[in-house]
Amino acid sequence: MKDKNNSGNLQTRNLIEERIDRLTPEDLKRALQVFKGKLGSEHAAYLNSCVHCGLCAESCHYYLADGDVESIPARKLNLVTAVFKRHFTFAGKAIPQWVGARELDRDIMRQWLDSLFGRCSLCGRCSLNCSIGLNVSYVVRAARSAMASLDLVPTGLQSTVNTAIDKGNNMGIPEAEWIETVQWLAEELRKDVGDPKATLPMNLKGARLLYTVNPREPMFFPLSIVAVAKIFHAAGESWTFSSKNYDVTNYGFFSGDDQAARTISDRLVRSMEELGCRTLVLAECGHGFNSNRWEAPEWIGKEYGFEVKSILEIVADYIRAGRIRLDPSRNPGPVTLHDPCNLVRLGGIVEEQRYILKSSTNNFIEMTPNREKNFCCGGGGGQLSMTEFTERRLKAGKVKADQIRRTGAKIVAAPCHNCIDQLIELNKHYKLGVEVKTVSEIAADALVIGGATNSEEKCEPQRPV
Amino acid sequence: MTALLKYAVVLTFVFAVVSLSFMVIKTFFFGRKAQYAKPRGSAGKGILFALGKGMMPSEKESASKHLPTYFAGILYHAGIFAALFYLLSLVLSLGLPGLSFVSLELPASLALFLCIVCAVGLLSGVSLVLKRVSLPALRKLSCPDDFAANLIVDAFLLLAAMSSYQRFSVSSGALSGSFYSAIAAFNGGSAGAAAGNHLGGANTLFFVVAVVMFLYVPLGKIRHCFFFFYARILLGLFYGKRGVWPAPGMRL
C-alpha cells in the first residue's frame, strides 16, 4: 500500500516536472510578469533586505526535522530574491553571480516547486525570528502566484481549489446533502440539549450571525458542528447557516491564485449581504480565518460592511457576558493547546482560546513555546493536499509531536481543521496517545445547559428564505 | 591629495544615500497593497515593538539561541557607527573647503573610546566572517557579496581604529613632542607639521576605504542599512494591525 502511495506521489510530482520541462521562453516571460504584478512595495522591501545570516534556520520546523540547508528559510527566500535581483535590480543585472542573482528559468522553477510548495507551510515563524524582520511567507506566496499562473501548482492542491470553485465547497458536497446533514445534526442537537425546539437554522434572514464551517466537518467531524450549535443554543443566539455558501476554507490562499481566492471568499460576502447578517463567524479554521478576516477584503477590493469574527471570539464573549456557563470539572484533561499559525501568529486570535479552555477545564497545560511563537504542526500551506510531500510533512511534524509529548496532555485542543488532520496523523505516526478536539468541542463538553446568567444581546431573526 | 579624498568621501557618501533613497522609492513603484481589512490592534504600537523589544533575545529565539552571534552583530554595528562618527569628525575637523564653519574636534578620551569601539567591532566582524567561512550551511547560503561586504567594512573598521588611536596618541601626547622633533630634524620642517603628516598618512588610507565602501553600499547587502528599518517598520505594521504585536498587556 505504501509503495502504491509512493509511486502515486512520484507520478504527481513527475507530471508537474514534465510541465516545467515544456515551459517556453514566452511562458517564463509571462510568469515573470505575473510575479512582478504580485509584488507590492512590501515585497520589494523584503526582497532587498536579506543578509544571509542564517539565524532563521532553527525557527523552521522543516529544518529542525531534516537539517537540510534547502529547508533554511533564508535559502527558500533566496530562491525568490535571486530572481528579483536578476530582473529588477541594477546590481543583479550588472554583476549577477556576485550578488547571487538568477534568471527565472526551468531550473529555478523546479526549485521553487520543491522548496516553496514542498518545504514551506507559510507559517511565518521565521519572520518573527528574522534578524531583519522579513515577512518570508508573504514573499513565498507571491512566488507561488507566479507558479499558479503557469499551472504549476501541485495537483492535489490545485484540485482542492478547483473543487471549491466548481462545487461551492472544497469537498464537493452537494447542496441537498449539506441540508440533509444539517437536519440530521439538528436531531442530535435536540437530543443533546433536551429541547424539541432546538435547531440549526438554514438561510435565516436577519440572523445576527452567519456561521461557516470547514467542509471536512459535515463529512468527517459532524460533532464539532453540533458542539457549536449547542453553544449557540445555550447562549440564545440568533444565527444561521447558508445552504449554498458555508465553506470557510480558501485554498486559493495556499496556491497563490488570487483570482480563485477572491471568487471563493466573495461567496461568503454575498451570502452575508443576501441574508442581512451582522457578523460573519468563521469556524475553527486557521487559514480560513486569515483568508476571510485579513486577506479577502484586499482580494475583493473593498471594506466590508459587516464584522468578521472567529467563533472563538464569539464563545469567549458569551463566557465573559455570562451568556453561557461552563463547568470545568467536566473536562478532567489534562488539555493542551496547539496554536494554529494562521489563526494566532498571522491572525491575532491569541488569548480567546486560552480563556475558553481555562473556563472549560481545570487542567490546562501550555505547550512551550506557545502563542505567536508556537511551532507549526506541518499541516498548513496546503501541505495536507500535496501528497507528493507527505513523507516530508510527517517528518516536519516531529517538532510538534515532541512539543505535545512534553506536555503530558491527553487531549490536544486545536482550533483548526487542517491542524486537526495533521495532528491526528502525527498522533498515529509518533504514537502520542492523545485525543484531538476543537476548542468548541471542549467548551461544549463543559456546557451547563440552562446555566446562563445573562441572555441579553439576543436578536430576533426574520424568516427563513 | 587629502583634500581631494575628503571631497571624494563626501561625494560618495552622498551617492550612497541618494542611491539607497532611490532604491527605497523604487519599491513604491511596485504598488502599495490596499488596507481594507479593519485593524484589530495598533499599527503604531506594532512598529514600536518591531523596532524595540521585538529585537531582544527574550522575544527572538534566533537571538536567544545564538547569543554570541547576536552580541557580535550588535558590537559590529556599534563599531560601524563609531567609525562613521570618527570619519565625520575627520572630514569636518580637517577643514573641508566650504565646510569651514563646522568643526568637530575630538578630545583625546573620545578618540580613544571610538578606537576601542571600532576595534571591538572589527573583532566581531571578523568573527562573523569566520563563522560564515567555517559553517557549511552558512557557506551555502552565501554569495561573494556576503564576504566582500563584510571584508570592506572590516577594513573600514580597522583603519578607523588605527587612525583614531593615532589621533588619541597625538592629542594626549602619548607620542612625545621629541618624537616629532626628531622626525622634523630628519626631514626638515616643524614638529607640528611632522605630527600632521603622521596623521595625514593614516587618514589617507581610511578615506580611500571609506570611498570604496560608500560606492559599494548600493550594490551589495550593505544596503540593509536603509532597508533594515524599512522592513522592520513593515513587519511591525503587519503584526501591529493584526493585534499580534505587542502581546496584550505587554509594556513596550
Residue B81 is assigned to a structural domain of this protein:
yes
pTM score, two decimals? 0.91
Residues of chain A neighbouring B58 (CB-CB closer than 8 A): none
- pLDDT per residue as tens digits for the range B241-251: 999 999 887 77
Task: List, for residues B112-139, the tens digit of each pLDDT value.
Answer: 999 999 999 999 999 999 999 999 999 9
Cα separation values, B75 from A356, B107, B113, B118, Å: 45, 23, 14, 9
Is position B27 within any domain? no
A99, A141, A299, best to mutate vs chain B, most B CBs in 10 Å = A99
What percent of chain A has a predicted confidence (pLDDT) above 70? 94
State chain B's maximal CA–CA distance in angstroms.
78
- Distance (Å) from the alpha carbon of B162 to chain A's nearest alpha carbon: 28
> Does residue B252 fall inside a structural domain?
no
Confidence of residue A1 (pLDDT cuts 50, 70, 90): very low
- Please check the confidence at residue A257 and state whether its pLDDT lies above 80: yes
Q: How far apart are CA B165 and CA A87, in angstroms?
A: 45
ipTM rounded to 2 decimals:
0.92
Task: Indicate the average pLDDT of chain A.
Answer: 93
C-alpha cell at A88: 529588477
User: Is it the case that residue A427 has pLDDT exceeding 90?
Assistant: yes
C-beta atoms of A133 and B235 within 8 A: yes
Comparing CA positions, the residue from A19, A152, A28, A125 lying closest to residue A71 is A125
Candidates B76, B129, B227, B241, partner chain A, best to mutate (most A CBs within 10 A): B227
Report, in angstroms and rounded to the nearest whole number, the Rg of chain B calculated over CA atoms: 22
Q: Are strands A279-282 and A307-310 parallel, antiparallel or unpaired?
A: parallel
Which residues form the domain of B188?
2-18+41-241
Q: Say how far apart CA B91 and CA B85 lie, in whole Å.
A: 10
**pLDDT value, residue A245:** 95
pLDDT at A460: 46
Burial class (CB in 10 A: 0-12, 13-18, 19+), A1: exposed
Residue A358 has pLDDT above 90, yes or no: yes
pLDDT at A387: 93
Q: Does B240 touch chain A (CB under 8 A)?
A: no
* Cβ contact A259:A349 at 8 Å: no
Q: Three-state SS across A253-283? A: HHHCCHHHHHHHHHHHHHHHHHHCCCEEEEC
Cβ-Cβ contacts under 8 Å, A138 against chain B: 238
Angle at A168 between CA A418 and CA A279, to 5 degrees: 75
The residue among A288, A335, A351 whose CA lies nearest residue A445 is: A335
- Round to whole Å and give the CA distance between A449 and A123: 38
Asked whether residue B26 is assigned to any structural domain, the reply reads no
The answer to whether residue B190 sits within a structural domain is yes
Tell me whether residues A49 and B247 touch, CB distance under 8 A. Answer: no
Q: How far is B194 from chain A (nearest CA, A)?
A: 43
From CA A392, how far away is CA A411, in angstroms rounded?
Answer: 25
Q: How many CB atoms lie under 10 A from the CB of residue A177? A: 13
B25: in domain: no
Non-local CB neighbours of B242 within 8 Å, separated by 6+ positions: A294, A346, A347, A348, B39, B40, B41
CA distance A442 to B166: 72
Q: Is residue B231 part of a domain?
A: yes
Q: Where are the beta strands (DSSP E) in A235-392?
A: 239-240, 279-282, 307-310, 335-337, 364-365
pLDDT at B196 over 80: no
pLDDT at A446: 97
Q: What is the pLDDT of residues A367-406, one digit of tens each?
A: 999 999 999 999 999 999 999 999 999 999 999 999 999 9
Q: Is the pLDDT of residue A204 over 70?
A: yes
- Rounded to a whole number of angstroms, the distance from the CA of A400 to the nearest CA of chain B is 16
Beta-sheet strand order (sheet of A435-437): A364-365, A335-337, A411-413, A435-437
- The string of DSSP codes covering A6-58 is HHHHHHHHHHHHHHHHT--HHHHHHHHHHHHHH--HHHHHHHTT-----TTGG
Cell numbers 607639521 correspond to what residue?
B193
Record the cell numbers describing residue A144, joined without a space: 507561488
User: What total number of domains does chain B contain?
Assistant: 1
- To which residue does cell 438561510 refer? A203
Q: What is the mean pLDDT of residues A166-191?
A: 96
Pick from A34, A39, A53 the residue to mutate for testing the B interface (most B CBs within 10 Å): A53
Tell me the pLDDT tens digit for each residue of A298-357.
999 999 999 999 999 999 999 999 999 999 999 998 999 999 999 999 999 999 999 999
Percentage of the residues of chain A whose pLDDT score is greater than 90: 89
Looking at CA atoms only, how far is residue B115 from chain A in angstroms? 26
CA–CA dist A61, B61 (Å, integer) = 13
CATH code, B102: 1.20.950
**pLDDT for position A193:** 93
**B233 assigned to some structural domain:** yes
Average pLDDT of B185-198? 58
Beta-carbon contacts of residue A260 (< 8 Å; ≥ 6 apart): A161, A164, A165, A251, A252
